[in-house]
Amino acid sequence: MRFVTLYPRAKNVQLVKDMGMIPYYIKTLFNEDAKLVTYKNDESYPYLDTVVKGAKVEFIKKVFGRQIDGMIYTFIHAKEIDVLNLYHLNTATFLSEIAYRLRNKKGKIYLKLDISMEGLRTVQIKDPRGFIKRMDIKLADIVSCETKIIQKRLNELFDKEIIYVTNGCLMGDDESLDLSEDVNTNSEKTILTVAKFGTYEKASDTLLYAFAKSADRHDYNLKIIGTVEESFKSVIEKFFSEYPNMRERVIFAGEIHDRAALKNEYRRARIFTLPSRRESFGIVLVEAAYEGCYLVTTEATPAGYDVSDNGKYGLIAKTDDIDDLADKFVKICTDEDFDWNKHAAGISEYAKSVFDWEKIVTYLYGKIKEELKK
């Protein structure tokens, strides 16, 4: 089987996300000819020599932009591809699907949606944009989404099966990680978030103000790992001017590239929060779950339901609701009967059993083989 994931925007980090993991495991587990096709968006791709050693990546030149370049690549190479793997509901996907269908009548298209609740809404809109999105789904032979709540709704909308192919995590599987021996699971009274802080989607302002509103009712700190958007720095200064006592309790740790160091941060923290306004998945939830964190997410983060096992290992707050998010923080931070060790063991075991890339890709591979027999 010749399997091609076409994702022109892939950077080094995408090699350990679904765009890189699916072709990597199809190649390594099943000895198939599987590769990722992308622009060279980073100066180097160090994961090719470490985490995904042996992965096959083809770099293409950026000439007209990803929509046209992807379509041209697909048209030229269609007959050499048995399964074309595309991402997202957009014009680029539509053009590549058409190009592939024109040149390869027997080949199969696998579309991984990576869809948010907002995306679910737009796919139903009766306008040209909605039409393209619906056609993306109709033209594909296999369509999957990452969360069960969206899978259920899509299966109600479309006269075809939408399968559940979630996202996995490598944080718990990398034996090369040199973890600090003095790191005790959930030892710090910390609410942790890992995000590109300050983007609209991540609701960073809601998080800051919700923490401030809850802070006098518990003794936890808020730690933020990730880059801070330049345009958001004035919002942070305004926040600290309104809540000067928060300067010692809100910790900006910056971006952490080292995987061992990041894993240690997850392991130390008791609570992990991702209070997004819009989120297709959020792999950081799985990374945090692997290390035993209690999860606090929002209704706009559909993976929150899956990774918390429908609330068994976390709380779901109303989207963009400062008061409700603050109340959720207080609820878990002040629960004196909560068994942190039991919880950490439970959510970690659950995450490793469900969000394991080998299991995920093995299931997907079976579906692909079934489709190829038709």
pLDDT band at 257 (very low <50, low <70, confident <90, very high): confident
Dihedral angle over CA of 347, 350, 351, 354, nearest 10: -160
Q: Are 80 and 73 in contact (CB under 8 A)?
A: no
Look at 159-173, 224-238, 243-257, 329-343 and tell me which has the smallest mean pLDDT.
159-173
Token readout for 121 is 């809404």
How many helices (H) and strands (E) would you count in the chain?
Answer: 14, 13
Q: Edge-to-edge strand order for the sheet containing 57-60? A: 57-60, 33-39, 2-6, 83-87, 108-112, 142-145, 162-164
What is the spatial distance between Cα 165 and Cα 154, in angstroms, rounded to a whole number? Answer: 14
Q: Is 10 helix (H, G, I), strand (E, B) or coil?
A: coil
pLDDT single digits (tens) 276-333: 999 989 999 999 999 999 999 999 999 999 999 999 999 999 999 999 999 999 999 9
Count of CB atoms within 10 A of residue 98's CB?
15
pLDDT of residue 225 exceeding 70: yes
Quote the pTM value. Answer: 0.90
Annotate 140-160 with b (16+ C-beta within 10 A) or e (fewer).
bbbbbbbbebbbebbbeeeee
Nearest to 225 by CA among 188, 184, 270, 191: 191
pLDDT band at 181 (very low <50, low <70, confident <90, very high): very low
pLDDT single digits (tens) 56-96: 999 999 999 999 999 999 999 999 999 999 999 999 999 99
- What's the average model confidence in pLDDT over 173-202? 73
Q: CA geometry: angle at 112 spanning 108 and 116, to 5°?
A: 155
pLDDT at position 169 is: 86
- Average pLDDT over all residues of the chain: 94
The DSSP letter of residue 302 is: T
Residue type, 259: R
Q: What is the DSSP string of 332-346?
A: HHT-TT--HHHHHHH
Continuous segment of H or E residues that includes residue 203: none
The DSSP letter of residue 314 is: E
Sign of the dihedral defined by the CA atoms of residues 161, 167, 172, 178, in that order = positive
- What's the average model confidence in pLDDT over 101-109? 96
- Chain centroid to CA 30: 25
293, 294, 314, 324 from 268: Cα distances, Å: 9, 12, 17, 25
CB contact set of 81 (below 8 Å; sequence gap of 6+): 2, 3, 4, 74, 100, 104, 107
Q: Is 2 helix (H, G, I), strand (E, B) or coil?
A: strand
- Burial category of 166 from C-beta neighbours within 10 Å (exposed 0-12, middle 13-18, buried 19 and up): buried
